[in-house]
Amino acid sequence: MTQAVSEPEVDVATHPDRYRHWTLAFGGPVATLSMDVQEDAGLRPGYALKLNSYDLGVDIELADAIQRIRFEHPEVHAVVVTSLKERIFCAGANIFMLGTSPHGFKVNFCKFTNETRLAIEDASAHSGIKFLAAVNGICAGGGYELALACDEILLVDDGNSAVSLPEAPLLGVLPGTGGLTRVVDKRKIRRDLADFFSTLIEGVRGKRAVEWGLVDAVHPRSKFDGAVAERAAALAADSDRPDAGPGIELGPLALTRTDDRLEYSAVTVTIDRAKRTAELTVLAPDGPQPTDVDAILAAGDQFWPLRAFRELDAALLHLRLNEPEIGVIVLKTAGDADAVLAVDASLAAHQEHWAVREILHFMKRTLKRLDLTARSLIALIEPGSCFAGSLLELALAADQSFMLDDPERPNAVAVSVLNGGALPMSTGLTRMQTRFLGDPARVDQILAADAPIDSATALEMGLVSFAPDDLDWDDEVRLMLEGRTSLSPDALTGLEANLRFAGPETMETKIFGRLSAWQNWIFQRPNAVGDRGALKVYGVEGRPDFDWRRT
């Protein structure tokens, strides 16, 4: 069967040797990540990436660079994010790219961009790596949002360089896809000042940018490089990362590919385009796994949790970016549950070590990527499954879960210490805490279970949605999948995004909740994509024609 999408396929795999838009340099405890976007190297034809404006291809390289710093370079304690272009830091997302992209691509582009920025903030919060934005020129829109993701922002004071979020006055489409939230929630800038700032095309520069809290310091161009080096060294000095390696090199993923199947070493995806479903299966470890730090480092990227979750991450991104008509992801596991629990125990025992810490945080970020994927998630727990510990999180992330209850074929789930807080959601709660928001004592009861939990008990405890018997299993699963794929995908996106994140709000949930609402509304409005909408006429035909009615 041929691919259902007409857009060129997106491959998120890359390597510093293949970067076209970023340069990564290392100098002891400080790394420098320099943006130098090549105008003619867009991910797709039809637009030029001028003024360090970016598209998804630029962000794929940025995400890869951050990941490699975390795993491959434990000696790096601080990262300077800057530009190699004179007097230009970054002009933000490329408007012509947005104007020529289909709606779903625009939404997934903005989502991936924010997941990457959150990876920067996660590294700062949990990995002992601080980020310093060295803004050496014009810094607008998504460029300022990148700077906002860093711990500190230094701005060159040359009378011209400024920071700005000019989407509302300049374009009129999507102001601050995460940037506005970071301005008030992260940098805690006064709302009235933030409002005025966000309506200025020219932005704010110099002393006023510092006074308002938009940047941390300004320095004249003659002293800028020295100030950046001094501040980066100070940030690096507070890290708890080691002074030297070895690190864990992230090699390419092994993938066998056909039109309707992706087969990695521990993850397989089988696509049924006629039914608009994909079956995603994660396999348990199939051999001895290291139990001490030296052995884990020696195993490198082949250590099962890192390998399996890297493959899971790649599979999820493939489904997001390249299979827009697949509405339901059926989550399965297979293999020895005890092997998963043993790996979890090793991770928990050595979680203070920098490498194990990175593995756990990568697992956490991958599961967050699953939570934020706008597809229905259905877990099928059958005999031979291994929904245990870290893989139980897949079932807990599902919108519904079905567990076969057949006395003739034992079927069980199991918990590990990792279910107790090592893999939180964007809310800061665990998936189990979110599940039992109205009955928190149930969480402690389940986590205390020291044996596998069978189907009847799992249903009674509320760990699964339904537990059909062998006679009803096939029909109930089939009817559920057919019913789910018959519903409006727009309604399901809204439904799932609302129900998955019960509990407290965080900056992260605000960012993605607002993205879901704003993008799926603003990006489809005539003011943005109509014949005279902002994205249609930008840079071509002057001002757009707006429908002035507020809704």
Neighbours of 342 (CB within 10 A): 20
Q: What is the pLDDT of residues 294-316, one digit of tens each?
A: 999 999 999 999 999 999 999 99
pTM: 0.95
Q: How confident is the model at residue 6 (pLDDT cuts 50, 70, 90)?
A: low
Give the model confidence (pLDDT) of 429-479 as tens digits: 999 999 999 999 999 999 999 999 999 999 999 999 999 999 999 999 999
Q: CA of 366: how far to CAs of 62, 301, 321, 359, 360, in Å?
A: 17, 15, 16, 11, 10
The pLDDT tens digits of the residues spanning 314-358 come to: 999 999 999 999 999 999 999 999 999 999 999 999 999 999 999
Q: Is the peptide bond before 242 cis (omega within 30 degrees of 0)?
A: no
Domains of the chain by start residue, with CATH? 16-236 (3.90.226.10), 256-495 (3.90.226.10)
What integer best gives the mean pLDDT of the chain? 94
Cα–Cα separations (whole angstroms), residue 310 to 11, 126, 255, 421, 464: 14, 19, 12, 21, 26
**At residue 5, does pLDDT exceed 70?**
no
- Quick check: 305 and 420 in contact, CB under 8 A? no
Q: Are 300 and 359 in contact (CB under 8 A)?
A: no
Q: How far is CA 485 from the centre of its chain?
A: 25
How many other C-beta atoms are found inside a 10 Å radius of the C-beta of residue 311? 24
Which tokens in the block code for residue 355?
């490498």
Tens digits of per-residue pLDDT, 165-218? 998 888 767 777 789 999 999 999 999 999 999 999 999 999 999 999 999 999
Q: Are residues 359 and 350 in contact, defined by beta-carbon separation less than 8 angstroms? A: no
